[in-house]
Amino acid sequence: MTTSGGALVKAAPWNDPNARPYVQVDRITKSFGEFKAVDDVSLKIYKGEIFCLLGASGCGKTTLLRMLGGFETPSSGKIFIDGEDMTGVPPYERPVNMMFQSYALFPHMNVEQNVAFGLKQDGVAKSEIQDRVATMLGLVKLGDFAKRKPHQLSGGQRQRVALARSLVKRPKLLLLDEPLGALDKKLREHTQFELISLQDKLGVTFVVVTHDQEEAMTLASRIGVMNQGEIVQAGTPSEIYEFPSSKFVADFVGSVNMFEGKLIEDEPEYVRIGSDELGATIYVSHGISAPPEATVWAAVRPEKIFMSTAAPEGTDNVVRGAVQDIAYLGDLSIYLVKLPTGKVVRVTQPNTSRHAEAITWDQQVYLSWDATSPVVVTR
Amino acid sequence: MNTAGYMRRFGVTGRGLVVVLPYLWLLLFFVVPFVIVLKISFSDIDLAIPPYKPLLEWVGKNSLAIKLDFNNYAFLFTDRLYINAFLNSIKVAFISTVLCILIGYPMAYGIARAKPATRNLLLLLVILPFWTSLLLRVYAWIGLLKANGVINNVLIWLGVIQDPLTMLYTPFAMYIGIVYSYLPFFILPLYANLEKMDWQLLEAAEDLGCKPWQAFYKITLPLSRNGMLAGSMLVFIPAVGEFVIPALLGGPNALMIGRVLWDEFFSNRAWPVASAVAILLLILLVPFMMWYQSVQARESAGAR
Amino acid sequence: MNYKSSYFILTCLGFGFAFLYIPILSMVVFSFNASKLVTVWDAAHSPTLKWYYSLLNNEEILDAAWISLKVAVINASGSVILGTLAGFGLARFSQFRGRFTLNAMTTAPLVMPEVITGLSLLLLFVALEQLIGWPAGRGITTMTIGHMTFSMAYVTVIVNSRLATFDTALEEAAMDLGARPLKVFFVITLPIIFPAILSGWLLAFTLSWDDLVISSFTSGPGSSTLPMVVFSKVRLGVSPEINVLATITITVVTLMIVGVSLWMSRMAKLDKAAV
């Protein structure tokens, strides 16, 4: 799986055991009293990646980011950036910059002074500061706003100043804390693509914290899904979506129908799962590694379920139910179908034609899916 | 997640330096003095400079004896003057606080509900007298209240009265002076509280069937409790120990404990007695101060 | 949100402000009164500036004002330094030994009756003089120390509450961009909280300028402050010169407060917009 929505890291170094990681997080734990905000996390991030830490609020993603930035000290474990141990290095000595969620633009300085601030701290020559600031402002299309104060800018402009300020020092690593969180939806989509092209142009490695899975999908070369201080799965967006490793990930990323069942046939090429919840057997065309008779869950995405009024062939992966609710979203519709077992299945159908054969409330329908569609997870 | 993390790592020494200076200052000039007051309140009056006997005395050659003398305290409890002064101070401070609530609450409420531009102007008008000398403002009331003062002149001119009313050097004058001086102290914390209030709560209450005064009684009043308490403490505590206002407006019969302490100290040079008065006053007020601090802590915790 | 207030509230506001301002206005008006009876308007010879001239030639008052000014300026500057340190410590260091004590010590002077503070300070100075010979006698130094002790508490509260709404990400951003903690304080924190520090300075100045009780306890011979002189005059009855003094005070304070609050509302707008 090397397809990716966001940053294109051509060689997929994470599949190469000999590749040298650019950022290495080695068994990091951060405790606040009894509470472990980050719990024994190890992570390898490669040069040129956009790595997204995705999770609900309080899952530890921001704490992990702040440890990369040097704002929190790990309780145990080490952090290496470009081969150097950064664990105890204060923020002002790290080759790392951060874009803050609130942007943290200095209110008493104009755009130019804000962007120049970091270079001044490094004692860069005045003429060079001017050049680099001007180039950077050009890159984020704020050349005309150099003399404005932050309060005279729009939200999107402030976001770009913050980005320029954190990039102008050419950090080895840029940390972004909910970079698009404060923007409205339209602007956010536009900015996502701008961010990717800027990252591509400058070749800086990004670590992004977000709670918005769509944002993570769009930006990331890889996503690390976090829950309760742990990284529960790391992989490309399509790996995360198509091959979630646990119920939590399947449920957290996108929406999913989860059917609990028992393995009744366990072959290397296929498995068959009997599910009381579904009231049918599920046939999956690949083997899994689980003890026989084990309780497993089959996850089927709503868009991978076919809905028809005529009975499809076969008995595996087919159930009958009544349409309970329909939500029309324009590009697609969501159907909630109630099975005889009481389980409600979510199905999405694209509205491809304007006058499609309309399925309505209380209608009896057949649901079916391909043998490749279900993902079987054991926890 | 605060800055304490890196402060802990990189500012350990700097951090100590930041706090140590104000800490030592307050310890030396605020806490230690109370210990000395306590000490002197237990010593005897002496006709010397300073006018008290040392607490530690050499007895014989090599042994020190501490002479604790409770006479000063006993004296305070036997002479009705002091007990009356204490009780009267509490009464005056309490009534003044109630008056401040009655006058100040509608004002703070009105300011909080005014348009933002008007609000700032009104707030400025409340703060302004607070920045002008208290002494001068109390003095202004002498001119207004005295026998041939402004109020009497106006009333006689209007024909309401024939002979001037006696207002100056009465309890009435003292209450006016205290309420007048401390009103801003009540309004400001209450306003700060009311300003944060979500007025849609009132609309919700009315929507659910409350009459406006019911909505006020059931929503606004309980929510503004902390602001009201903080403001009341800021009036009550200093008013108990007030000296200037009773001295200028209250006349010779206005028995307030702050004034008694002043007279014991400056007129009678009875430092140990004055110290004992101070200690008793402090014991009386400390619970209120702690209450004030806990109200403040709750209020700022709620604000964050 | 609707800004409508009932007639009851408006009436209360009207009476309240009348109560606050009639005494002040009466002093201003009578400062121009020619009569020595102060509150009896002498229509034939008023308005007049004669009491203004007489005040400006009153050596006693001018000397006292000069002492008050010196004490107030030193007090305000010292209080701002101590209060900013304490406010910063309380706002930023979530835990340190003595935090509770420091918090209590900076809250208590706000409500402590002045007679107690004054008496206790005097007794301290007397004890210190006996013990180590300092301070030798009482005067400007002891008064300033006394004023600073309660003024710094006010500054602490102002700075502390300003820092409570301060976005710490600003400091982290500066540090992230390479500034060391001390530099962050001077380049980022201090400029942003400057309005709070300025109002702390002004408040400390005013508290000291107006203080009577603590000054009376801690002053020595020949170091009478303006309030002390005013108090002794006022005890003897009303005096036209005091009206003049009040008018001048009110004018200066009004100009200062209006100027500062205009400037600050501009700063606050910048601040709000940036967060």
Is the pLDDT at B60 greater than 80, yes or no?
no
Q: What is the pLDDT of residue C237?
A: 74
Nearest by CB to residue B131, choosing from C2, C116, C206, is C206
Contact A72 B1 (CB under 8 A): yes
Pairwise CB contact (< 8 Å): B1 & A63 = yes
The Cα–Cα gap between C255 and A120 comes to: 40
Domains by residue range for chain B, with CATH: 73-303 (1.10.3720.10)
User: For A4-18, A107-121, A194-208, C134-148, which range has the lowest pLDDT when averaged over its residues?
Assistant: A4-18
Band (B216; pLDDT cuts 50, 70, 90)? confident
pLDDT tens profile A172-187: 999 999 998 878 888 8
Nearest to B6 among A62, A63, A90 (CB): A90
* pLDDT band (50, 70, 90) for residue A1: very low
In this prediction, residues A78-95 reach a mean pLDDT of 92
As a whole number, mean pLDDT of residues C65-69 equals: 94
What CA–CA distance (Å, rounded) separates B281 from B273?
12
Burial class (CB in 10 A: 0-12, 13-18, 19+), C38: buried
Q: Which residues of A are less than 8 Å from C175 in CB distance?
A: 71, 90-92
- Closest CB from C120, C164, C235 relative to B304: C164
Alpha-carbon radius of gyration of chain B: 25
Name the residue in chain B with its Cα closest to that of C14: B107
Is the pLDDT score of C268 beyond 80? no
Within 8 A of B10 by CB-CB distance, chain A residues are 90
Three-class secondary structure of residue C61 per DSSP: helix
Taking 60 as the threshold, does the pLDDT of residue B8 lie above it? Answer: no
Residue A16 has pLDDT above 80, yes or no: yes
Answer yes or no: is pLDDT of A336 > 90: yes
CATH number, domain containing residue C251: 1.10.3720.10
Alpha helix locations (H) across B27-149? 32-41, 71-78, 80-112, 116-131, 134-145
DSSP labels, A112-173: HHHHHHHHHHTT--HHHHHHHHHHHHHHTT-GGGTT--GGGS-HHHHHHHHHHHHHTT--SE
* Host H or E run for residue B300: helix B271-303
**Beta bridge mates, A257:** A300
Q: Is C187 among the domain residues?
A: yes
Distance from CA of C120 to the nearest CA of B (A): 5
Weakest-pLDDT range from B184-188, C51-55, C77-81: C51-55
pLDDT for C152 beyond 90? yes
Query: Cβ atoms within 10 A of the Cβ of B169, count?
Result: 18
Checking if the pLDDT of B294 tops 60, the result is yes
Chain C residues near residue A117 by CB distance under 8 angstroms = 174, 177, 179
Per-residue confidence band for B67, with pLDDT thresholds at 50, 70 and 90: low
pLDDT higher than 90, residue B228:
yes
Record: contact A91-C180, CB cut-off 8 A: no
Q: Which long-range contacts (CB under 8 A, 24 or more apart) does A9-17 make?
A: A9/A46, A9/A48, A9/A49, A9/A221, A12/A236, A13/A46, A13/A47, A14/A44, A14/A46, A14/A222
> Can you name the residues that pair with A99 across neighbouring β-strands?
A176
Our CA-based measurement puts residue C76 at a distance from the nearest CA of chain B, in whole angstroms, of 14
At A206 the three-state DSSP class reads strand
Instruction: Tell me whether B208 touches chain A (CB under 8 Å).
Output: no
Report the pLDDT value the prediction gives residue A248, as an integer from 0 to 100.
93
Q: Which residues partner with B105 through β-bridges? A: none
Q: What are phi and psi of A299, to 5 degrees?
A: -105, 125
What confidence score (pLDDT) does residue C41 get? 75
Interchain proximity B5–A90, CB inside 8 Å: no
- Interface list for B 218-237 with C (CB within 8 A): 233-234, 237
At CB < 8 Å, which residues of chain A contact C?
69-71, 90-94, 96-98, 100-102, 104-108, 117-118, 121-122, 149-152, 165-166, 169
HEC sequence for B164-192: CCCCCCCHHHHHHHHHHHHHHHHHHHHHH
A32 to chain B, closest Cα gap in Å? 9
* pLDDT at position C33: 84
Distance in angstroms (rounded) separating the CA atoms of residues A110 and A117: 10
pLDDT at residue A33 is higher than 90? no
Structural domain of residue C139, as residue ranges? Answer: 59-274
| C1–B contact, CB cutoff 8 A | yes
Segment among A353-357, B98-102, B209-213 with least mean pLDDT: A353-357
Residue B10 pLDDT: 47
Hey, what amino acid is at C101? T
**Contacting partners of chain B (3+ CB pairs under 8 A):** A, C
Q: Is A21 helix (H, G, I), strand (E, B) or coil?
A: coil
Candidate from C170, C176, C269 with C-beta closest to A98:
C176
Which chain B residues have a beta carbon less than 8 Å from that of A91?
Answer: 6
> CA A55 to CA A66: how far, in whole Å?
15
Chain A contact for C264, CB < 8 A?
Answer: no
Q: Is C83 helix (H, G, I), strand (E, B) or coil?
A: helix
Of B1, B8, B9, the CB nearest to A66: B1
d(CA B74, CA A299): 85
Q: Cite the beta strand spans of A11-58 per DSSP E.
A: 23-32, 35-45, 50-54
**Nearest Cβ partner for A73 among B1, B3, B9:** B9
Nearest residue, CB atoms, A90 vs list B1, B3, B10: B10
Domains of chain A: 13-95+171-248 (3.40.50.300), 255-377 (2.40.50.140)
Q: Which residues of C touch B233 (CB under 8 A)?
A: 111
Three-class SS state of B68: coil
pLDDT digits (tens, 9 = 90+) for A222-268: 999 999 999 999 999 999 999 999 999 999 998 899 999 988 888 88
The number of folded domains in chain C is: 1
Taking contacts as CB-CB distances below 8 angstroms, the residues of chain A near C179 are: 92, 117, 121
Determine the average pLDDT of the residues in C91-103.
Answer: 81
Amino acid at position A128, single letter: E
What distances in angstroms separate CA B222 from CA B194, B197, B202, C5, one per listed residue? 11, 11, 12, 20
In this complex, which chains have at least 3 CB pairs below 8 Å with chain A? Answer: B, C
Which of B93-102, B165-174, B254-263 reaches the highest mean pLDDT? B93-102
Q: What is the pLDDT of residue B201?
A: 87
Pairing of strands A50-54, A205-210: parallel
By CB atoms closer than 10 A (0-12, 13-18, 19+), residue C131 is exposed
Nearest to C85 among B21, B248, B271 (CB): B21
Pairing of strands A364-368, A318-328: antiparallel
Q: Which B-chain residues 6-65 have CB contacts (< 8 A) with chain A? A: 6, 8-10
Give tens-digit pLDDT for C221-260.
888 999 999 999 888 877 888 889 999 999 998 898 888 8
Residue C2 reports pLDDT greater than 80:
no
Instruction: Please report all neighbours of C, defined by 3+ CB atom pairs within 8 A.
Output: A, B
Mean pLDDT of A367-378: 91
Structure confidence by residue, pLDDT tens digits, A260-309: 998 888 888 888 998 988 888 899 988 777 777 788 999 999 999 999 88
Q: Which pLDDT score is estimated for A5?
A: 47
Of A191, A173, A193, nearest to A182 by C-alpha is A191
Residue C117 lies in a domain: yes
* E strand or H helix that includes residue A235: strand A230-235
The Cα–Cα gap between A137 and A144 comes to 9
Mean pLDDT across chain A, nearest whole number? 89
Q: Which residues of A touch B (CB under 8 A)?
A: 62-63, 66, 70-73, 88, 90-91
Q: Is C171 helix (H, G, I), strand (E, B) or coil?
A: helix
pTM metric for this prediction: 0.84
The better pLDDT of the pair B132, A53 is held by: A53
